[in-house]
Structure 1
Amino acid sequence: MTTQEATQAATQEATQPTPWYAEFFGANDLYTDSDIEYQDPGLTREMVDCVTALVPPDSHPRLLDLACGTGRHSVPLAAAGYRVTGVDQSPHYLAQAARRADHAHSTGAVFTRADMRDLSAFADGGFDTVVNLHTSFGFFATEEEELQVLREVRRVLAPGGRFVIDVINRDAFLRQTSEVFGAHPRDRFVIRTYDDSTGRTFLHEEIFDPLTSRISWTVTEPAAPGAPVRTSTADYRVFSAHELTGLLRRAGFTCEAVYGDYARTPFTIHAPSIVVVATTA
C-alpha cells in the first residue's frame, strides 16, 4: 500500500460512523451497571459449568473466549483448567478483564483486542474450543458479516474442535404476552420495562423489527438533580434455532447438539436460549 493509499484508507475510516457496539460496550459502563443477568454470579457459574460439561478442559484445553467483555467467563474458565485467550473489540473491557484476572491471581487467561470478523492474529487450528456466550453474536449489519465471524471461528479451531454459542431464542422472546407488547408506529413491537432492584433505576426499551429480526435496546438511567441522563442503544439481530444452525452449517460446521438453557435441557420453541455445540468434524 502506498502512502497516498494509506492516507485515503485512514481518512475513510475516520469518517465512518462509530458502530453502536463501540459505544454501548464502552467506557460509560451503562451496560454492565444495568444488566442484572450480567451481574448475577450464579448465572455466570451456570454458563461456565455448561461449557465444562460440553467441552471438558482435559480434552479441549486451548479455549478462545470470543467477545470476552470484562472477563466474566474467561477468568472462571481459566480456573476450571482451560488455557484461555479472551478476545474483545473494547479496550475498556479488556482492561477490566485483565484487572479481574489479576484480582483472581489467574495465570491461565490472556486478553487480546480483535474484531471477531478478523481473527488473523491467530493461527489456523490454534484452539480446541471457542465459546461465544450471553448473546454476543448478531452485532453486524449484514448476514455475510455474521458468516465471516463463523468462518473465522472454524478456521482457528483444530480438527475435532468444538464451538459453543449461546444466544437468546427469538421465538421465545416473541411469545411474551400481548399486555407486554405495544404497537410501534413502524409496525414493530415495543417492550418497556424498568429495574430498580440494585437501588438504582434503569429504564429499558426493546423495539423488535420483524422484517430484520433485530432488537433496538435502549438503556437509560434517569438523571439525579444536576446530573446528566445516561443512555445507550444496542442494535443486534436475534435468531430462531433453524436460522442459527443454518448459518453454522453454511460456515462449514456440523451441529452436534442444541439445548434450551445452561442446564443442557433439550431445545424447544419455548426455551429461553439457544445453546449450540458445533464441531469441525
Structure 2
Amino acid sequence: MNAALWRKAIIEARLLLVCSTGLLFGFHWIFVWLSSYISLGGMRDFLLTLPVEWQQISGVGVDEVATVMGRIGLAFMDPVVLAVTAIWAIARGSDVVSGEIDRGTMEMLLAQPLRRVWVLVAHAVITCGGAALLAAACWLGTWAGIATVTLEEEVAASAFVAPALNLFALTFFVCAFATLASACDKYRWRTVGIVGGFYMLNMIVKLVARMGHNLDWLRQYTFFGAFEPQRLAGPWGESVGLLAHYGGILIGLGLMCYVMAAVVFCRRDIPAPI
C-alpha cells in the first residue's frame, strides 16, 4: 500500500511540477538574456538618481545591482519566481489532508491497512522533491543563459548555487506550513486562504522593513527575513556561511511544521464525507 501512496502522490503532482519547472527554466534563461541588454554605466547612473527609499527595496547596494552578477541574482527574488514557487507549495501542501477530506476521499484512504503518518511522509517527500526541482530549474535556466548569451563581463554559473538553495529553503518552509494548516483543517479553500494570507502578510512586512528608515528590525518577525538570494550570489566560499544561517532558519522552521502536522493528523478525528 505504501507503493500505491507514492504513485498517487507522483501522479497528482506531475502536471503542476512539469509546467512550473519549464516556466522557471525559461524565465531565468530569458532574464539573463534581457540583462545582457542593460548597459552597466547607464544602470548605475539610473539607480543613483532614485530616492534612497526606492534603492532600499532591492535589498542590495546600487553598486551590486549595477553589476551583471547582481542583476542576474535578482531573478531569484522576482515576483514570477516567488509566485510559481508559492503556487507549488500552497497547492501541494494544502491538498494532503484538508484536500482529501474536502473531496470525501480521506476516509477511504485511511480505511486501508496503513499508518496515518505514511500519508504525510509520501506527500511531503514528493512535494519537497518538487521544490528542489524548481530551485534546480532556476539554476539550470541561469546556467543556460550564461552559456548562450554574450554578457559584458564574465560570470560563473556556480555563483548562483547559493541563491538557488536559498529559494529551495523558502519553498520547503512554505510547503511545511501549508501541510500544517491542512492537517488542522477540513476545507481546502480555507487552508489555501490561510496560507496565502500568511504568505502575503510576511511579504508586506519584509517590504516595509526594507523601505522604512528605522524598521529593519521587522525582518526578524517574517520568514522572508531569511530569504536574501541576491546577497548570496557570488563565490561559494563567501556565501556558504550566510546560506547556512538563512537555510538553517527556514529548514528548521519547516521541519517543526512537519512534525506538528504529523502529530495533529495522527491524533485528530476525520469527519465523515457528506
TM-score, normalised relative to structure 1: 0.26
Larger radius of gyration: 2
Q: Which has the higher contact order (CA 8 A, sep 6+)?
A: 2
| Structure holding more strand per residue | 1
Structure with more of its chain in helix, by fraction? 2
Scaled by the length of structure 2, what TM-score is found? 0.26
